[in-house]
């Protein structure tokens, strides 16, 4: 059973982080969101069948869906801002 929350739970912490920090790199948002969700070592080590780290994928989906919903913008490749 997965210990990583589903992707919608990553949205709010990611938006709060962007509100506090301004423009950030995608990787910084993903790691900062994991910190805010207090993901432990077990959750951070969890992978999917392809070998991808599960929390990074779910945080990435949260950013993608937030962008499509118009909640965040991507002014340049790999950068996000509210």
Which bin fits 78, alpha (ψ -120 to 50), beta or left (φ > 0)? left
Q: Where are the beta strands (DSSP E) in 1-82?
A: 24-25, 79-80
pTM of the model: 0.91
- The dihedral built from the CA positions of residue 38, 10, 63 and 57, taken in this order, carries a sign that is positive
Length of the chain, in residues:
82
Asked if 51 and 72 touch (Cβ cutoff 8 Å), the reply is: no
Specify if 43 maps to a domain.
yes
23-51 pLDDT per residue, tens: 999 999 999 999 999 999 999 999 999 99
Domain-embedded: residue 2: no
Within a domain: 3: no
Instruction: Report the alpha-carbon distance of residue 74 to residue 82 in Å, rounded.
Output: 9
Domain span including residue 21: 8-80
Q: Report the number of distinct structural domains present in the chain.
A: 1
């Amino acid at each position: 059973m997965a210990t990583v929350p589903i992707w919608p739970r990553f949205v709010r912490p990611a938006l709060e982080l962007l509100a506090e920090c301004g423009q950030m790199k995608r990787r910084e948002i993903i790691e900062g969101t994991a910190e805010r969700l207090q993901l432990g070592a077990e959750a951070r080590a969890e992978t999917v069948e392809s070998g991808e780290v599960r929390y990074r994928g779910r945080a990435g989906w949260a950013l993608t869906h937030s962008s499509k919903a118009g909640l965040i913008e991507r002014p340049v490749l790999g950068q996000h801002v509210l």
